[in-house]
Structure 1
Amino acid sequence: MIKAILVLIEVFMITYILGILLVIGFYLLGETVHEFLLPWLPGSIIGMVLLFGVFVIFGDRLVRWVKEGAELFIRYLPLFFVPVTVGVLQYEHLVSWFGLAFFALLFISSLFVMLFVAIMMDRKAGDSTCG
């Protein structure tokens, strides 16, 4: 019984680790392509496009691995924002000079994101059929 539980835990951990390693690997591959071939396009975007291409080719199993690894990142996402907040507090004189413009930019970009998400959700709701 205990051995079966340990095997189950090991399988879940391997799935998480594989998903995280796939995301990191494609990020690094994108950065390499950016460095040598496409300096005008960010490496993270190149990596995402390459990962999407692999998803299209290899299908559902790879998507499941990356999804589980990404969900682990998302679960602990607020921890990634702590250093950013501390950094902003360290440079409060810059925030006081450019604070109004900074908050206006945040507000406008948030409105655009909400508008985009609302349009996409409206389209998705229109495509789905009930019953």
Structure 2
Amino acid sequence: MATWVKGILQVAFFVVYSWSVNALTTLSGLNIPGSIVGILLLFALLQTKIIKLEWIDLGAKWLIAEMLLFFIPSAVGVVQYEDLMRDNGVKLLLVVAVSILVVMAATGLMAERLSGRKKAASR
């Protein structure tokens, strides 16, 4: 099968999977976003080898590579709130910047902690 066909089918899988998990969480009344449930379920399916990584890797790589496109509507939506941005723009940018730094620091610390455990376990 051609690579581009595999990629399209894998992206289609993610679209259907996302829609299905969102529908299930809505119908079940869970107070957890469908995206979180979907990520956890996909992780479990990959770990148990029910879904093989090669079945979804091409589509996942494409979606990650094009992730910026999915944020453009959010950025365009901000333009609609010109008054809010004029009055609180600096505060909002400060909150976003601090949030990014906190996430980066937490991710780095967690990565160091986990890599330290792997090194200790392999000794």
Do the structures match in fold with TM over 0.5?
yes
Matched residue, 2:92: 102
CA distance in 2, matches of 1:13, 1:23: 15
Matched residue, 2:76: 86
Matched residue, 2:13: 22
Matched residue, 1:77: 67
Letter in 2 for 1:75: A
Matched residue, 2:57: 67
CA distance in 2, matches of 1:21, 1:58: 20
CA distance in 1, matches of 2:37, 2:78: 29
CA distance in 1, matches of 2:10, 2:106: 28
What RMSD in Å do the two structures reach over aligned CA positions? 2.4
CA distance in 1, matches of 2:26, 2:73: 27
Matched positions, count: 120
Matched residue, 2:102: 112
Measure how far apart 1:115 and its partner are. 0.8
Letter in 1 for 2:85: V
Structure 2: gaps of 5 or more residues: none
The answer on 1:39 being equivalent to 2:34 is no
Measure how far apart 1:111 and its partner are. 1.5
Matched residue, 1:49: 40
TM-score, normalised by the number of residues in structure 1: 0.74
Letter in 2 for 1:56: Q
Measure how far apart 1:112 and its partner are. 1.4
**Are the equivalent residues in 2 in contact too, given 1:30–1:47 (CA < 8 A)?**
yes
Structure 1: gaps of 5 or more residues: 1-6
CA distance in 2, matches of 1:81, 1:37: 28
